[in-house]
Amino acid sequence: MDRIVARDLVVFANHGVFPEEKTLGQKFLIDIDLGLDCQEAAIKEDLTKSVHYGDLAHGVKKVFTDKSHDLIESASEEVAQYILRTYPLVNEVRLRVKKPWAPVGLDLDTVYIEIKRKRHRALISLGSNMGDKKSNLDKAISLIEDDYTKIKKKSSYYETKAWGKEDQDDFLNAGVEISTFYTPHNLLAHLQGIENTMGRVRKEARGPRNIDIDIILIDDLVINTQRLSLPHPYMRERAFVLEPLKEIAPKYVDPISHKTIEQLLRDLNSN
């Protein structure tokens, strides 16, 4: 991945928790580091295939000064999201916001926060077997989209038998492909928030539910934490997951088995 870097952009803004910081303001220094593919721009000498760093600097300054935040973490997040939304060619943003002479009552030169935000591709599986199943899926899919997440593709709806606990109504299932700026754990929190908003009650494992939303894959990430496992540990055993995803992303490669979605489904159906 190529990089475009701008260092020590000087911006005067009113961020901080103290009243003086809000009213008097102070100087900040911003380092911007973009990850993207610049080769086409270089070959064709076409600036539209790259990022105009002059426009970038002016845009970052405007976003950074439009609002007053208590935390430079919040101001930095807004700048990173602005860059990813404004420049589709950019896959990754590294941002360092430096606060010289921070008011901590000590001899301190500079405090800074550094964040990295990426444009993630993710596959999501949805299911419902209570109430108006189609309406439940429609609503959940509409709620997935927000300032951080956009739906790129949506599968058809598939009626399937319950898996793992068969003495319940059939499910209606779907899959969506999204582009998101959320980190994996924050994407999980976003989707669980949708389940909570829609009134999902977790009474028993694999029991009936009005809505179920699972992250199946994010990029080629392999994650094993208490809260999140990627790829989804049961994806290779569930036709109701693989069938909708095959419709929208057949060539997506599982980083564990190194097989595509369509290959995984073929293997499952042949057993």
Q: Confirm if 186 and 180 have CB atoms less than 8 A apart.
A: no
Q: Which of 61, 99, 118, 133 is catalytic?
A: 99
Q: Which helix or strand (DSSP H or E) is residue 241 part of?
A: helix 239-248
Q: Which of 214, 148, 141, 138 is nearest to 179 (CA)?
A: 148
Q: Which amino acid is at 64?
A: F
Is position 61 annotated as part of the catalytic site? no
Q: Which helix or strand (DSSP H or E) is residue 75 part of?
A: helix 72-86
CA dist., res. 14 & res. 70, Å (int): 9
Q: DSSP states of 193-216 as a string?
A: HHHHHTT----STT---S-EEEEE
Residues designated catalytic: 99
